[in-house]
Every structure is written in C-alpha cells, then in structure tokens.
Chains A and B, each alone.
Chain A
Amino acid sequence: MNLRIDAEKKQGHFLLQVNTEVSGERIGIFGQSGSGKSTLAHLISGLLRPDRGEIYLNDECLFSSGKSVNLSPERRRIAIVFQQAMLFPHLSVKANLLYGYRRCHPENRRIRPESLIALLKLQPLMQRGVHHLSGGEKQRVALGRAVLANPRLLLMDEPLSALDDTLRFQIIPYLKSVSEEFGIPYLFISHSILEMQLMADRILVIRNGQIAETATPDQLARNCMAQSPKGYLNILRLSDPVQDNGLYAYPWGLNTLLISDGVPTGASLFELSSREIILFKKHPDAISARNLLECTVTEMFDSEGRVGIVLSVAGEKLVAEIVRSAATELEITVGSILFAAIKASSFRKLA
C-alpha cells in the first residue's frame, strides 16, 4: 500500500497540514489527543473534505483540489473500525457483519463471510442482538464487518482505547490475523506507544496538525522513553514454560527467564519496562531478583537526560534505562559487559 497525502484542513482554530508519503502494509499514526490523527483519518476516508491538496492511494487519486476530484467515501473502499464498535443498534450481529459485504461489488468480494466468521470466532454470536455483546465481542464484530466490506485499506481509529487491558490484548491478535490472512493493509491510529509497537511497522508521528516524523516502532519507543511513565517497553514473546518453585521458567534464547505472572502452557506476550532493569558492573554476590543476565552493551542513546542502553543477551535484545550520572559512574560504553537484574514480578503479561 502506498499512501501519498498533501492536504490542508482548517477546523475552527485547528489547522491540519500534512505532506507525506508512506508505504507498507501496517502503518501507524501516532499522536496525542487533539493532534489531528482522527481528522487525518477522516480526510483519507472521504468523510471530511480537505480545503486543498491531494490524496493518492496506490496511485489512484482519491482527492485533488486541482483536478476537482473528490471520491465519495463509499467509492474509496476504506473501511473504518472506530474506538467504540459503532455497531448498528437496529440490526442483528449477522446483518451488521454483512452490511458492507452486501454493498461490495461481487467482483471485489475476495473474503468469504464463513472464513472470516471462523477466524474471528463469531459463530456463537450470530443469533444475538448487538446489545447483548461484551465490549470485546462488539469490537470483533465491528472488525469483521469492516473486513467483509472487502476494503482496499482498513482504517483503525483507536480501536482498542475503549477496552480494558485484558480485552485489548485479546483483540490485537485478531486485528493482526485478519490483515495477514486476507492481505488487507491497515492504518492503525493510536496514542499508545505499546499498541504502535505491537501493530505497526512504520509510524507517522503527528503533532499539532503536522507530521513531525516518520519512525519505526523502536525509534518511537526510544524517542518517547523519557516522557513515558514506563520508559521503553521491551516486548517479549515467550512460550512453553516449566513451573519452578511457584514461578514460570520461560526459555529465552540461551537463557531462562523466571516470571511470576506466567501461564502453564502455550505462548504469552510480556512487557518489561526499561526502568525495571537494574544494571551491575560486576556480578553481584547475592540479589533478590530472580533473573540475572550477563549482557553486552551494543548501543546507547539519549532521551531527554536519560540514557537508553541497548543490551544483547545471548543474541536477544533488551533496552534498559538509567540516568546520565549512573552511566558515567559505571563507565558504560558500547561493548561493556554488564549484568542485568530483573525481578520475576517485573514482567507484565499482555496476552
């Protein structure tokens, strides 16, 4: 997917001025509330008309003030998943799911409802009214409805913000799997760095109505490390643990991580804050933390007075964060050998 936007839109005192080109299948739009993310989404989907400029999707002109082109939303084939599921309250789950499918030209119907219903595990919900669904179920139906419209682009506008953490991380695999399974590129809008790390390959950072930068999830997490309450979030996919004195021992590269918040079987996703990693210059004699890992510093970066230390732990990567004075005191440089101590309770299970 290639998206090219050079557009302006004034709304009251707010001016959105975007000029960017981005390619990829999993694009993120990151920004704080009021930065213009949703306005940008509305311009792309055709729900708002830019004051001037042009918008191209895969070389097709969606809008051009110069050429007097403005494709209506239904002709753009850009389906939106909103923060609130926005299921049609007067229609059944089935009618909601098929709303876009029935309006899609038969030639464009690549996705069969049965396969999507199976993928999103929607079969048990089909006969229920939308008022009887939980938040997570509603969002799954909304996702299914958007995908069944067979869009060229899926636009997800903060689709996880209204959900609690448990539901949020239950939905993420569905979001990713529909995109991968049916080959639909998406634009994922969020103000959460963690969601960006999990959902996007390439991120447009929007600030005060302008694209401030284009970044990878790792670059974004580094840039936001100092302001974020959790610092840099390390995301770890771990599986097949062994129970060990009330903890779960997960294999991780050549090491083993002891985690208190594990599950007996299967794969899990954990987050580990960069601020939860304590670094030692020498091997400590005895510590209470259950994980002590020997590691090599491969990179160091600054983030507003704090120092991010990229560690290689037997080939696996971790990012720790310390204050500048600590880095000076420990004489940490690229290539330094350090010991990282992490408490078993510092790992937070996401899914």
Chain B
Amino acid sequence: MILVAEDIAAIWLSLKVALTATALALPLGFALAWLIVFRQFRGKVVLEVLVNLPLTLPPVVIGFFLLLLLGKNGWIGKVLDASGIPIIFTWKAAVIASATVGFPLLVRSIRLGMESIDQQLIEASRSLGAAWYDTLATIILPLSLRGIMAGSSLMFARSLGEFGATIIVAGNIPGITQTIPLAIYDYASSPSSVTMALSLCLVSVLISVVVLAVHELLGKKLDRRSAL
C-alpha cells in the first residue's frame, strides 16, 4: 500500500466531512423523523417527498442545485458572502453536499426505529405525567437508538463515498476539498497511478469495514442491555 501526503490529507478530510455531516444532520433528522411518525399536520406528504428527494435525484443534480443556492449569486450564498463566510469550494461545501445526499438514509432509518415503538408505550408515559418532550427524551429517544445508530452508520458510509454533488460544490482541490473518492478519480484518470488508486480503495474498504463492525458491536450491546 502506497500513500502520499495528499492521500493522507484526503483520508482525514473524508473522515472529517463524513463525521461533521452526520453530526450536523442527526438532530434535524431525528426531529423530522419524529414529526413524520408522531405528528399529524397539513403538508406532511410534501415534507416526506422533500426529505426523500435526494435519494432519487442524481447527486450531480443535487450538487448543481446546491451550487445555485450557495454560489455567490445564490439566495444563501449571497448572504454568507456578505458576512464573510465562504462556502463554495471549501470543505464546508463538501459537508453540505454529503449531508444533503445522506440525509434521507438517516431519516428513513430513524423513522423505522420510531415506527417500531408501540404507541401504547407513549400513551402510558403521557398518562403517567410525562409531557411530550419528556416522553420524547425518556421513551422515544432510547427506544429509537437502534434506528439512530443504523441511520448514522448509513449516512457516514454514504458521506465517505459521496462524489457527484461534492465535486460540483466543493471542487477537487488536493489538500483542501479532495476527499477519497475524488482522489481515486484523479488517480484513475492516469494509467500510471493504478497502485495509488488501489491503495485508497483499500483504505476505503477498511474504513467501511470498521464502520460496519462498530455498528454491529453497538447493536449487540444495545440488544444485550434491553434483554436484561
């Protein structure tokens, strides 16, 4: 396995982007899943469609929309630019791209976890004097942990592999916005760099194996705890 300094930077950046995207998306994903599962309101279907849209759209399309939104002339980009916060072609753009693309996977998993909670457990909690936010914290959150874990793992893994949206909004600047997939893309374009590409592919596999193993171990730990 051969890794140069730029590859190491790409690996760290990939981990940083995936972790940040997952951490940022988690509270919002949990809140949206809760809204969809437990609340009745007008426009719920629209919200569900919007949440799931990135799952069906090509990542390049998502990247292009993000570019329109976050670019210097975009609605949000204009404001951020005026405040001196550049987004486009920075690692933050890669985080936004990853968070957008992986978000539906996160919400879907948490939602599945929440849907498996017996409604009467929630009713029991409320009738025992717990306000809705108390029930959310003491019943729904702990009983959704499996879904939260599964969603986070999926989103983290998806973020690590994110390419299409990232290359459009963050570019492919070695040491700044170049993540593992972008670096592999660079290497793959040159026939002499097959070994380098393979090395990064191996690192990718290794990270994915670690993520899945941690997910399984935590899941088993949760199962053991709930069986006590």
Residues in A lying within 8 Å of B, measured CB to CB: 42, 45-47, 72-74, 76-80, 82, 84, 86, 88-90, 99-100, 103-104, 129, 131, 145-146, 149, 155
Contacts and interface: CB of A to CB of B under 8 A. Distances in A.
Interface in B125-159: 125-132, 134, 138-139, 142-143
A47 B130 contact: no
Most chain A CB neighbours (cut-off 10 Å) among B121, B127, B130, B225 = B127
B121 A72 contact: no
Most chain B CB neighbours (cut-off 10 Å) among A74, A100, A103, A146 = A74
A130 B228 CA distance: 8
B128 A145 contact: yes
Contacts, number: 71
A108 B96 CA distance: 50
A80 B124 contact: yes
Q: Classify chain B's interface size.
A: 20 to 34
Nearest to A73: B126
B128 A146 contact: yes
B226 interface: yes
Most chain B CB neighbours (cut-off 10 Å) among A72, A73, A131 = A73
A13 B53 CA distance: 34
7 contacts: A42-B123, A47-B123, A74-B126, A74-B130, A79-B128, A90-B142, A100-B129
A45 B121 contact: no
Dominant secondary structure at the A interface: mixed
B124 A90 contact: no
A77 B226 CA distance: 29
A104 B120 contact: no
Contacts of B125: 88, 99
A76 B131 CA distance: 11
Contacts of B130: 74, 99, 103
A78 B127 contact: yes
Given A42-B123, A74-B126, A129-B227, 14 more contacts: A47-B123, A72-B132, A73-B126, A74-B127, A74-B130, A76-B127, A80-B127, A86-B123, A90-B225, A103-B130, A129-B228, A131-B228, A145-B128, A146-B127
Given A89-B143, A129-B227, A47 B134 contact: no
B128 A131 contact: no
Nearest to B131: A74
A236 B181 CA distance: 80
A351 B149 CA distance: 48
Interface in B25-62: none
